[in-house]
Amino acid sequence: MKLLLGWKLAIAVAVRGAVGLEYPDCINGPLANSTVCDVTASPADRAAALVKLMSVAEKLDNLVDMAKGVPRLGLPPYAWWSEALHGVALSPGVTFNFTGIHFSNATSFANTITLAAAFDDDLVYQVASAISTEARAFANAGLAGLDYWSPNVNPYKDPRWGRGHEVRDPALFTTTIITGQGVTENLDQTPGEDPVRIKGYAKAFLTGLEGDGPARKVIATCKHYAAYDLERWQGVTRHDFNAVVSLQDLVEYYLPPFETCARDVNVGSIMCSYNAVNGTPACANTYLMDDILRKHWNWTAHNNYVTSDCNAIQNFLPSLHNFSQTPAEAAAAALNAGTDTICEVPGWPPYTDVAGAYRQGLVSEAVIDRALHRLYEGLVRVGYFDPPTSASPAASYRSLGASDVSTLEHQALAFQSAADGLVLLKNVNGTLPLRDVIPFPPVTLTGRPVAIIGHWAAPNAHVLGGYSGVPPYLLSPLHGAELLQLNYTYAAGPPVAAAAAAAAPDAPDGWTAPALAAAGAADVILYFGGTDLSVASEDRDRDSLAWPPAQLSLVEALASLGKPLVVAQLGDQLDDAPLLANPNVSAVLWAGYPGQAGGLVALYAILGLAAPAGRLPVTQYAADYARRVDMTDMRLRPDPAPRPADGRGAAPRRDRPAGESSAAAAAAPFPGRTYRWLPPSSPLSTLPFGFGLHYTRFRARLGVFPTLSFTTASLLAGCANSTAYPYPDLCPFPVTVSVWVSNLAAPQDPGGGVTSDYVALVFAAGEYGPRPYPVKTLVGYKRLRAIGPGQTQAAVVDIKLGDLARVDTNGNRILYPGRYKFVLDVGQDGNGVDEVEFDVTGDEVVLDVWPQPRAQP
């Protein structure tokens, strides 16, 4: 049985120890007079000069993530594995100071899926910039590296995916395992199911993390390239899964975020994934790694590098992908295809045989040199070889230190990142915010007793999500209740791990009676529940989309009391249909994985001290969706055809237990994936992508268009021969698309009305391009802030022609003539609240000619 990667990472840190950073001595060391230490030389020449000094044996020692360096040259060891998805995180390249004050913690912001729900790229940029500031401070203290394996930009197309919010179970990787201390482990997340949202998030995050100055602040890594969204499901694992993807779906859905990373932002690094794509492992796939990544997207300007995911090259062997017969052949296949550094985990043999690949003539010294040139040029560009007193732009980052970590500004930003990602899913008769409160401080419910129930209510490290470090604090709802001096009683409710067992007739129930007792003595019931990392995580996909049975039974029992009942849902999306349909469930608020202050933020929102305005970054599917669709099915469009064979070429299993994809689903029509192909009226969609309510009433309208007719040529005319738009798909829509949003509450309303943000989502719809036509497609978004009662704000939504275009079966992105429609927002019925139609005439225009696949070597 395979170990979970959480254990593998724990073993990596425990066995080798976290390897922090030692800068080369470019003043007095052996390299001081080498070109690599000459800040006036080009980065490429500096890297080449270093590689030229190495022997072949020394070169081979530095092609894996735990690079040994070259002692005789004064080149220190370097760990190419640091994490910073939503804050500096425990990893082989990062350690915390558990014996002192400085560097004992780092700010833990809301995890990606929650931050993405804010639909505010300026906020994403601020968060990423704060993370890289703290990362550089850790590096300067010798506690972290200069490259970080963030962000995860894989589209979250299947709600069962364990890394859609990407988690490793804290029980599997804790500082207890590594240091004897008791904090949390790691996880990461994606920004949701929509490529346009992910592209915006990725661009903002990368600009903040790498910096927008003349030198990189740190090296970011976009992962996992490509078509990766399965961990371990029904006997198929990411280590042996072959993602069979049509060229149309690959170009239209799975690759756009990576195009933004590589072509548009020039990210420093990309990670290739565990899975195979159409028969070839991703890390050996020359079509992905060379034809598309380096040639078509021109990802060559800074000689950037590719890292493998950890132990992905071992997956090439006969027991998994059966692509290579020996470890040496596997290493050669990866290096020759363009993988530049290979991540290994000790205790997980066979190791990658880089030396054997060279000795057997399977990989040339020129390929080895190419990889090392890329790796060391990356380090040159972040100032690794720059003396701290030099005048190089990167040297300025060497001054960052302990005073730049966990600052008050970063703590406030962490709070905002959680608050802005809250999504209100139900609010009967304006139950929320609880209005009879005295403005802070202190806040009370005028002495009325409150029951606070649920496993998420107490301090819980799971609130961080994964890929986490050591936060300065964890603020739970109970902390908030104490801080705000609420008159409350607390009951723990069922643990998530008890969900399956509690469904059994003879399962012990030690939670219902205490919860009902607490609720019976209260006027208001607050339930904090949902999933956690024990349900879905890295190497662990979900089977069910339903609420854990023990929790749902308890919520229904609490609702039967007839008192105001607010459900705050943390963790993954669940099928909320039972809660939405229950008239005695007054409100439902989703918080995801909100970070170090998340529990407090959720309580503050319930009390009206924060107004939720986030939107779902994913579709909330009905529980039956898991029975209808296999995770191994990579299709997106609805299809009446039976389900194809799974990704390994085997027939679909017929022995799935109830509640999972079944043999009956094999003959059923494929319903489609994501909001683009599954209409909100479908019984398989409980809540649509983009859904979110507010504490006030808004009226949103699109601005008036000066013209409602265009030609394909006129749409592109403003970008002809423009250096500002080197690629036609980046050309902006030539007419300003504005939104006008009014807060219909009045200052004289009870409570004075509510000031709230509003996220404007603009979709395109219409019957143009190849059939079938999507229901609609997100083309732009904008968060308007602090719209007061009676106020109106306007904003411009940026829309690019490439996002209006469609992709044909050959992967070409084409601007088609036809009747288009801009649709604003997602109303309570799942439909838009305003729309405008316009015609596009003329010839089809190909914005991007896609390279066609060729035979893999």
672: which residues sit within 8 A by CB, 6+ positions away? 636, 637, 638, 639, 678
Closest CA relative to residue 521, chosen from 551, 489, 496, 492:
489
DSSP 142-161: TSS-SEE---B-----STT-
Q: What tokens does 297 get?
A: 């997207």
Active-site residue identified among 65, 120, 309, 757? 309
Determine the length of the chain: 857
User: Do 192 and 163 form a contact (C-beta atoms < 8 A)?
Assistant: no
Contact assessment for residue 285 and residue 273, using Cβ atoms and an 8 Å cutoff: no
For residue 266, how far is the Cα from the chain centroid? 19
Region of residue 180 (left: phi > 0; alpha: psi -120 to 50; beta: else): left
Q: What is the dihedral of CA 120, 125, 131, 133, to 10 degrees?
A: -150
Q: What distance in Å separates the CA atoms of residue 145 and residue 384, rounded to the nearest whole number?
A: 10
Cα–Cα dist 743/486, whole Å:
30
Q: How many of the other CB atoms lie within 10 Å of CB of 697?
A: 15
The runs of H, that is alpha helices, within 118-266 are 121-140, 175-179, 195-210, 247-249, 256-259
Dihedral sign for Cα 461, 464, 469, 474, please. negative
Token pair listed for 373: 């040139």
Cα 584 to Cα 69: distance, rounded to the nearest angstrom = 64
710 contacts 838 by C-beta, under 8 angstroms: yes
Which are the contacts of 236, defined by CB distance < 8 A and separation ≥ 6? Answer: 230, 631, 632, 646, 647, 648
Instruction: Let me know the angle formed at the C-alpha of 196 by 192 and 200, rounded to the nearest 5 degrees.
Output: 85
Of residues 836, 780, 832, 845, the one with CA closest to residue 806: 845
Q: Is-contact 845 713, C-beta < 8 A?
A: yes
Task: Please list, in sequence order, all residues whose beta carbon lies within 8 angstroms of the beta carbon of residue 781, skipping any fewer than 6 positions away.
Answer: 119, 196, 197, 200, 759, 760, 761, 762, 797
Separation of CA 839 from chain center: 36
* Whether residue 309 lies in the annotated active site: yes
CA separation, residue 849 to residues 84, 193, 244, 728, 813 (Å): 35, 25, 22, 11, 7
Cα 591 from Cα 602, distance rounded (Å) = 7
Q: Compute the distance between CA of residue 140 and CA of residue 137 in angstroms, rounded to an integer.
A: 5
CA–CA separation, 59 vs 364, rounded Å? 12
**CA within 13 Å, CB half, 439:** 2
E strand segments, 296-404: 305-308
Phi, psi of 354 (to 5 degrees): -65, -45
Phi, psi of 195 (to 5 degrees): -60, -35
Kindly state the tokens that stand for 186: 């790691």
In the block, which residue shows the tokens 């924060």?
610
Half-sphere exposure (Cβ direction) of 402: Cα atoms closer than 13 Å: 10
The distance from CA 292 to its chain's CA centroid, rounded to whole angstroms, is 23
Q: How far apart (Å, rounded) are the C-alpha atoms in residues 206 and 125? A: 8
Hey, which residues are catalytic here? Answer: 309
